[in-house]
Amino acid sequence: MIGVYDSGFGGLTVLRHLVDALPARDFLYLGDSGRAPYGGRDVDTLLDFAEQCVEHLFDAGCRLVVVACHTVSCVALRHLQQRYCAPGSGRRVLGVTIPAAEAAVRVTRGRIGVLATHRTTASRTLVAELAKLGHYDVVQRAAPLLAPLVEEGWEDTDIARAACARYLDDLRGCESIILGCTHYPLLRAALEAATDARLLDPGPEVAARLVDWLARHPGFDDAGSGRVVAHCTGDVGAFRAHGSRFFGAPLPDLRHVVEAQSALAALVVERAPEGQVVRPSSPPPKG
């Protein structure tokens, strides 16, 4: 069974491509909707949430987890891989950042724009990955209003069109724009009305890369029976209603999970770090 993790509904836009590409596999989706949005969270909170969510998926029987959330993939992916994917662990955590960067470089000669959450753009991880691929002409724009508009179901409104136009005004001159948040594919019509740039949804590329990865690692995941299960930390009714918009079909099996036995502590933050963050921690759980 393959786990797919996102901060809420948005990762269902990635899951739909994964299911289309691997219809015989079993998927367990975890949407942390009770604690969304992630885009304005501090780094340590993101690391806490990410650890809890991938541990939940591993405990449920997933050996492979796809982090569909761009914010977590840009900030915490390396931490998750180092904590849970030591040689011999039989576990893997994959993200969406590198597939997004590779897809953009493959089709773009000129400037690449990145439209994403505040935390994703502040990390500059996509900028770094594009530079590794030899592409340095990159401009970013944080768009904190767009995901909440989609959560409200307002993607086909004048408000959404005005917000998209305002944000994209800062990305003029881009040949391609990476949609660096899983909510943004639902805004494609509003975004296309505001720009002539090529809009890149990383979802299909993530699915293609996963198909290739599984082909290169035969036996890592069972063939399955085509079952799709979804877990959410927020309101189940809202997740079911909105989730079908993102997934493109009714969610067949939806369950509620909650946080338990957590602790809070005061934290002094001197500056906001850039790039991937690996936090010193206790040894990873056994098993």
- Residue 73 · residue 50 · CB < 8 Å: no
77/18 Cα distance (integer angstroms) = 19
| Residue 44, phi then psi, degrees to nearest 5 | -65, -35
Given the residues 69, 74, 85, 174, the one annotated as active site: 69
- Residue 43 · residue 26 · CB < 8 Å: no
Residue showing tokens 């809420």: 8
Of 220, 229, 203, 176, nearest in space to 56 by CA: 229
Tell me whether residue 181 is one of the annotated catalytic residues: yes
Tell me whether residue 69 is one of the annotated catalytic residues: yes
Of 30, 20, 22, nearest in space to 72 by CA: 30
CB count within 10 Å of CB 237 equals 9
Given the residues 53, 62, 85, 181, the one annotated as active site: 181
- Residues involved in catalysis: 69, 181
